[in-house]
Structure 1
Amino acid sequence: MKRTLKTRIAGVAVATMAAAGAFVVAAPSASATPSDCTSYLASKGYSSTDTNLACTVGGSGLPADQLLCRVLLMNVSSVPPAIADTACRKAAV
């Protein structure tokens, strides 16, 4: 039996919504502390929207969050590697 385009689109939409709902339910708990990361960076003289974003990513609990946090801090915000490592670890605690 051939399915119409409308039926296929509806099926894809339902599957997408179900997957998104599962992701929200399975999301990691908010135990990370991006504010510790941003406070640490501010004490070292690094404070911007970019550093806040990097700390939020570092505390997300998602795969590769620590790596992305370091990359953002070092390459976008020009934070030295040692400070970036410490900040990203503080975001994940």
Structure 2
Amino acid sequence: MTGFEADPKALRDAADQARQAAGIVRELDLERVAALSGALTGTESAKTAAELGPHWENSISVWAKGVDSYAASLTTAATAYRVRDDAGEQEFDGTGGR
């Protein structure tokens, strides 16, 4: 068998799920971890907590942007497959099914 099949609906569903995941992650307030440093005054962990919160916040922002880009690519691919499939069906129908 040569070639492959793509399911545009499945690609769109995956894109929607990716966007939903990015939205959920964006709502996390991981910078609050930095507030732990006040409860850990005088410990090695206080400094780490103060640095970790902003680091995580930046990391999830970068991750969410990447997932949004991935979702956009899935949507673009789904549209392209659908356009090609529709064009192929019209071409085939135009030949009288020969």
Report the structure, 1 or 2, having the larger helix content: 2
Structure index of larger Rg: 2
TM-score by length of structure 1 reads 0.29
TM-score by length of structure 2 reads 0.28
